[in-house]
Structure 1
Amino acid sequence: MRVMLSGSALAGPWTARMMGDYGAEIIKIETPKVGDTSRSGPRHPSGIVPKWDSIDRNTMSLELNLNFEKYPDAKEVFVDLCKQCDVWVNNIPGISKHGATDALALEANPKLIICHTTGFGMPENGGDPSYLGRPCLDTVGQAFSGLAAMNGMPDGPYITANPIMNDVIAATMGVVGIMIAYYNMLKTGKGQVIDNSMYETAAYFQNYYWAIQLNGGGQYQRGGALSPTYFPFGNYQAGDGEWVAVGVFGANLWKKFVALMGKTVEEYSFDDTGVVGANPEKAAEMDKIWKAWLAEHSAEEVEKIFSENKIPCSQIIKAETAYKHPHWVARKNFITMRDHTNGTEIIDFGAAPHFNGTPIDYSKYQAAPILGEHTDVILSKVLGYSEEKIEALKQAEVVAASLVTK
């Protein structure tokens, strides 16, 4: 599958990146001499930007101006790209204003799948005109989607869920939409446009909470580190100061939990104590027992004891711990790639899920490209342009091969 990407920062590029992880050929269109904003960020001592190497890995960079009014010859390049691609992923707001329209793309290739990721949706599917076209970033999408209202301490400020969850949720649903539309194209021979809005995709992931709240359940009550519904369910500090996540849900797990606490379900039933708010007096008693037990055990001990008793539990894992953790290592979760600017080797997380029939060959993975690194090869090998034509396009500033990084 060949994917044309016009987008910056995250939601659009991450959609393409996910597809590239599993073998799609990604042609990323970048504005000449400017490039993606993600090219800047925290730097490694060697000068590279690990974030960029990860976000746009397995991607080819083509510098192309998509303003057909200012660069008329760019229209031909765009049309030819559409003819050679299966999918067009875009998250540049108002990209059609200067000529790169869906109609033009579908005329060039009626089988093309087009996925537009926006903050608030496209007018073809309705919406308040004052919202359509508004700029949107992750934190804004989380706010409008209702996701932010679910995060934070009960008496504290609403917080944004990291890492940039609305962007990656929208990107994931973009891939889902593309696969559905592509399957339909294989059956009908017709491409289509996917309206992938950030706020709706984040809202979709909260679906049963909407059902609860809008059918008599009342407004969701933030629990911070703890579940507002079940106990113990959430993040707790152990006796050594480290943290563990514990999830006790249902009568079977509850029976095991109270036994570990030296109690019985006759004394503390799940319905009375394991369900938040059912019996405050019993809940307070068990909370005291639980906290005292925690204080006597390290986080590692809690995880070991709970896991041996088949109760879901894990220590809070951070990056350096994960990199050395025997389970992560055995699953081969981390890979290495070489930066294209100076050859520095960087560590990155691999891909998920795994496929037993078509395992990934990580040796083929490439770190993110230098700006315009693949301009010539795309124009010559994919579009079949001659050296003279490529040079003429460069002279007209339609395309470029800056070969710089930021």
Structure 2
Amino acid sequence: MENKKTNPKKKQGKSLTKRITGWLHLWLGLVSGIIVLTVTLSGTVFVFCDEIIDWCGGSAKYVQAPVNTKKMSPEELLIQFQKQVPDRRAFYFDTYKEADRSFRIASATKPPKDKNKEKEAKPKGKGRGPRGTFAYHYLDPYTGKVIGSTKSYEFFYVIAHIHAQLLAGKFGKTVVGVASIIFFIQLIGGLILWWPKKWNKTTRTTAFKIKSGTKWRRKNYDFHNVFGFYSLLPAVFITITGLIMAYKVLTDLTQQAFGGVADAHTIAEKYEPEFDPDKKALSFTEFIDRNFKEIPDAKQIRMSIPRNDSSTVYNVVAAKFIGLKSITKGKSREVNKYTGDEIKYPKEVLMHEVIEHMNFDLHVGYWGGMFGKIFTFVIGVICTSLPVTGFLIWWGRRNKSPKKTKEIKNIHQHRKDTQHEQMA
């Protein structure tokens, strides 16, 4: 008995796999933490862009519809918009089936005209550049008067580019791509570290539940550990769909795997009508009437406005609801501007668009309506918190007082000695 007491069985330490994983998990997290936090936070905010843009529109989304009065044509409304806001260029508009809905125009500020065009084409300031600053303007469809505007479009454009490239072009895109790969490795490493050595009642409780009545350091550890596990699979899925968009090689492999084609846009150009100066394009009204008839459930139509007369294809979207990057119960089509007919692209070109949109919808949560958005938003909040809670765990351990550390070690040693005595 004394021999067992004086030579207690030593507790096995962490396996080599867990030690290596723990080291990588720590240092990869410290290196990429601020980038991951920025990317996940911006992506989480973007999830509800449609709802926020709609809210920003406020009362300007609606008008008092006069009795027995027709709406002005899109061409007339665009002319009125240009008169009232001459410094902006419209690039698409939204019109609605309801009589009391206003006419919405998406536009960008025009680059200043100057002899020194190269110098003026690059104005300083956030959100500025050759493309200009984006905004939505709401017009009364019966009078053509601008009744409201919002730069929420610009806000989410900036948010999307923070998410994709940190507003730093190709270099930023590379940094985000590398950070996303690290985050993927972190998720797998986190699962290895989370996995208990033995499964029993105590380890199950620790692994799946946050212990109540504990101090903030233990609470923070539990948040990182438990919520990290629950969000693992969807976080991995979101990361993979993001990497597919970030890296062309993954984009091309995905297209080929699901029946699409990598160079879809080049192939598509061969099937588009040639410009003919003697032919007259159909009016926007004709396109709108035709699409409302062909898609009975449609309440909103969005039409692109070509930059020049030589463009022969219009993008027309007709759906129950059309958001910044989402379509609900509808369809997006490329149509011949002379006939209004949909361009007959090859199957693989059409599949390219389906795969591209599906991957985006899976990434941002548009796959399941409001439920999908809420689910993705919650996962985004958890992923955003992981670099913070992980840093606090490391900081807490690094700055733990020697006295407290010694006390904890004595408590653990006392528990081990008591267990060995009971076994003896």
Shared fold (TM-score, shorter chain, > 0.5): no
**Which protein has the bigger helix share?**
2
TM-score by length of 2: 0.24
User: Max radius of gyration: which structure?
Assistant: 2
